[in-house]
Amino acid sequence: MEQRMSVVTLGVNDLARSKAFYQQALGWTISADEGQIAFFQLNGMVLALYPRDALADDAQVSGEGAGFAGVTLAYCTRSREETDEILRQVERAGARIVKPAREVFWGGYSGYFADPDGHLWEVAHNPFWTLDEKGNVHLEAP
Same domain (yes/no): 132, 111: yes
From 19, 36, 61, the end of a domain falls on 61
| Nearby residues of 124 by Cβ (< 8 Å), 6 or more positions away | 74, 75, 76, 77, 83, 104, 108, 109, 110, 111
Same domain (yes/no): 95, 127: yes
Of 121, 128, 123, the C-alpha closest to 110 is 123
- Structural domain boundaries, residue 94: 71-142
Residue 5 lies in a domain: yes
Residue 132 lies in a domain: yes
Residue 66 lies in a domain: no
Residue 8 lies in a domain: yes
pLDDT at 63: 82
| Per-residue model confidence as pLDDT tens digits over 50-108 | 999 999 998 888 888 777 777 899 999 999 999 999 999 999 999 999 999 999 999 99
| Per-residue model confidence as pLDDT tens digits over 30-50 | 999 999 999 999 988 999 999
Same domain (yes/no): 124, 90: yes
Same domain (yes/no): 77, 141: yes
Residue 89 lies in a domain: yes
For 106: left if phi > 0, alpha if psi spans -120 to 50, otherwise beta; the answer is alpha
> Rounded to an integer, what distance in angstroms lies between the CA atom of residue 140 and that of residue 100?
28
Indicate which CATH number applies to the domain containing 35.
3.10.180.10
User: In this structure, what is the dihedral angle of CA atoms 86, 77, 47, 16, given to the nearest 10 degrees?
Assistant: 0
Confidence of residue 141 (pLDDT cuts 50, 70, 90): low
Same domain (yes/no): 4, 43: yes
From 61, 83, 103, the end of a domain falls on 61
Number of structural domains (the chain) is 2
Same domain (yes/no): 99, 136: yes
Residue 77 lies in a domain: yes
Residue 35 lies in a domain: yes
